[in-house]
Structure 1
């Protein structure tokens, strides 16, 4: 069980690294600065790439991590922290990917964002 959690955390960490290192990708600093705009535009409905469902899951993850109530209590050595770490890694990986898509959308390069219609100019 612990090995599976470590593998999942390693996979999430690799996903974060890979997302920020692809050619032309926004840097980590630019992604961090984009988070308030991403949250604002998603909540307003202007940006549909993140979606209200994933936004709600991110907020639930935040509440879960800072809440004193835990599925696995913190007093259990390593196990109690592992569930929080898993939630944090998922949230960070989700935000890294979402901010990259959001920055592309803001720059006018929508790529493939769910809910967006991309049309080619008539030529």
Structure 2
């Protein structure tokens, strides 16, 4: 029973984070909209997230590549564990890095005077 309640609480927290941003943070829509700007600023050398962006790209390529099908073909469930770890790391890193980028963006933008 306790395991079911923990799972329900985890899904509730995830749903809240996806809809409105956890702990007052940016919403998922804001984070996803920031990704192209983050990539552009990183490519121009303005934002210092180059290594993290490269690691996120590598994790994405690993999960969607046909090479990743080899462990699943031979090890079934155990082969899926590496995907779960990669996707979990990728999601957490994406959340942390987009929040960091949005804070950097706010700090570097000049204040709008009315």
Q: Taking structure 2 as the reference length, what is the TM-score of the superposition?
A: 0.68
Q: Which runs of 4+ in 1 moved over 3 A?
A: none
> How much does 1:31 deviate?
0.4
**Equivalent residues, number:** 92
Provide, for residues 11-54 of structure 1, a one-character-per-residue CA deviation record: whole Å limited to 9, x for no partner. xx98xx5xx4123x111110011111111111211111x2x222
In terms of fraction of residues, the more helix-rich structure is 2
Match of 1:119 in 2: none
Counterpart CA distance in 1 for 2:97 and 2:26 is 11
How do 1:75-114 and structure 2 match up within 5 A? 75=73, 76-108=75-107
3-state DSSP of counterpart to 2:107: coil
Match of 1:62 in 2: 60
Structure 1 residues not aligned, in runs of 5+ = 1-9, 111-123
> How much does 1:94 deviate?
0.6
RMSD, aligned CA: 2.6
Q: Is the 8 A contact 1:61 1:87 kept in 2?
A: yes
3-state DSSP of counterpart to 1:102: helix
Which protein is bigger by CA-based radius of gyration?
2
Counterpart CA distance in 2 for 1:84 and 1:69 is 12
> How much does 1:67 deviate?
1.1
2:4 is equivalent to residue 43 of structure 1: no
3-state DSSP of counterpart to 2:67: coil
Structure 2 residues not aligned, in runs of 5+ = 1-9, 110-114
Greater relative contact order, per chain length (Cα 8 Å cut-off, separation 6+) = 1
> How much does 1:108 deviate?
2.2
> How much does 1:72 deviate?
6.1
